[in-house]
Amino acid sequence: MLRYMTVVGALCAGVAPFLSGGVPRPEADPAVIGSAVGVVLAAALAVGGGRARRVFAAVAGTGLAVTVWWLLVSDLLVGLTGHDLPVLAVGSLAVAVGAIESAVRRTSAVPDRAAGTERAGTGEAPGAVPVASGDEVARAGSGDQPGRAVGSGGWRVRPVGVVAVLVVAVAAVFAPVVAEGVIVRSETRDARDFAAEPVVERPGGGQWAWQPAADVVDVVPVLHGVAVATRDGAVVGLNGTDGRVEWRYARPGAPVGEVVASVDRRTVLVSFRSLRDTRKQAVVVLDADTGTPRFEKVVRSVSVETGQLMLGTRMLTIRDHEVITGYDVVDGGSRWQWSPPEGCTTWFGQVVRGRTTVLVPVVCADTLGVTALDEVTGRERWRHELRRGDSGGERPDVQLHGTANSSIALLQIFGAQPTPDAVPNGLLDTETGRVLSRPERPSNVRTDVGVTPLLEEHEGGQVTGSLALDPATGATTRLSIEHCPRRTADVTTSTTYVRACADNGRELTVVTQPLDGSAPTSTPVRLDGSGSRARSDVRLVAAPGAIVLTRTAFGGTAAPVVGLTG
């Protein structure tokens, strides 16, 4: 009666190994392949074997179903799964049910007495002959002895069987979606139709604090505040003006790898790692205003951990070896691909995002330089290149470093010909490629600190001087380091330099100095937690509504997230 359902379950099992295993499982997973083969064999025995084989198929099918569902549940508990196990779980359950039904099906016996013998107590006249069913005749013709138990029902189409087939087919189609819904906890809010608050340049008199449920992994500025990632697999959007929770996206059990905000702060990228398989990560793109998930991709861990994902205003660009692909940040669709010209490579340098461009270091047989690709089309917008010279046995290299607002990139080219018009080092406008200024010591320039680059002086491994660098003119303004001899985190805005200083594990001081060199001000902040200080780090960001800081630690009570409003 359920033979067709068993066949459909076997088809699901046969398709499952060819589906994506997601983050926790390799592409060719022996557990999935072996289970799928076993389910198909059990289905074959259930629909085509004798009674002994059907009983064996029922036992084997049940064991395989338990194994597959255990694998699926183990993936769900770590917050990650693919498409293969949910489909295989549906198929294995269908085969197990069908095999059990086949094994316990009511049987009828083909009489082994000679035809014409009167049956006792029936009142049938001598000569009456019971008529065997079509299945019994077929089984007798295939070698079954008279009187042997024979299954009834055959391949006749019945309403119950049709319903069972439809249920299994629909369940297999929607199983990956249901599994995704089980592992994801999402709380969103309505979109706001007013402009975002301005980025706070300096702390004012107000403070707010939010206590996370687990240790903080990272914090990034978003449209109306900050997005905070915690170690329990959650990303929370906080309002910058008062610290209240706006939205939440979580995958309990899946550690957060990276959190990146787009240039316009309207999009957030979050990667989730697997504790069992470190080769891949799940990259989820969220709307930074509402917290609504837009799309998800499985990306190699090495691409995530080495900064090969650039989240722009309209495109997410990913470099995989020598190929750069642009994905739409709204739906995740692939829009373009770019590869270096023949004989050239981009592999040794870091790709940097511009405001509407993607800057790629390119090393060729006779030239060195950087190519800027249009973020939307992938076409070349501008190029800055030099002729290769004698490298003295060292590998020619092109290094790029961008500022937080992606408007400026620091370029350093090693191994170029020293011609009078060559510009191997300098600060470039990422939109046009124009050389803005050429610092004397480019290796001492910090672009990762924020909007305004800093030029630092070092002696004996210690920072002895810090200067604000005007990218347009190259002019510098010396900043005070006496007020912050022990800096644990710093960030620059367009007008100020903000530092976290004198951190004793329970409280610290935020020192703010205008970039014109005027006197700094200090703001004490309570930032305690019982986690291990050996594995702690202070995060400090300038965001809409507040300057936000927190401490990443491990174990104990998580440190709060504190906002210093403007």
pLDDT number for residue 400: 94
pLDDT number for residue 1: 61
pLDDT number for residue 113: 39
Question: With the CA atoms of 239, 243, 249 and 250 taken in that order, what torsion angle do they form, in degrees rounded to the nearest 10?
Answer: 170
315 in Cβ contact with 328 (< 8 Å): yes
pLDDT number for residue 161: 79
Amino acid at position 467, single letter: L
Q: How far, in Å, CA of 560 to CA of 546, rounded?
A: 15
542 in Cβ contact with 201 (< 8 Å): yes
Which pTM value belongs to this model?
A: 0.83
What's the mean per-residue pLDDT of the chain? Answer: 86
Helical axes 3-15 vs 159-183, angle rounded to 10°: 30
pLDDT number for residue 535: 54
109 in Cβ contact with 147 (< 8 Å): yes
Q: What would the two tokens of residue 276 be?
A: 């069992």
- In three-state secondary structure terms, 502 is coil
Mind listing the domains of the chain with CATH numbers?
A: 3-111+128-183 (no CATH), 186-565 (2.130.10)
Helical axes 84-103 vs 51-77, angle rounded to 10°: 150
Mean pLDDT by 10 residues, the chain (566 residues): 86 93 84 94 86 89 95 90 93 93 61 41 45 43 43 67 90 93 92 86 91 93 96 95 96 92 95 85 96 94 92 94 95 95 88 95 93 96 90 81 93 87 91 92 90 89 88 90 88 94 87 93 85 70 95 81 93
Q: What would the two tokens of residue 228 be?
A: 């905070």
269 in Cβ contact with 258 (< 8 Å): yes
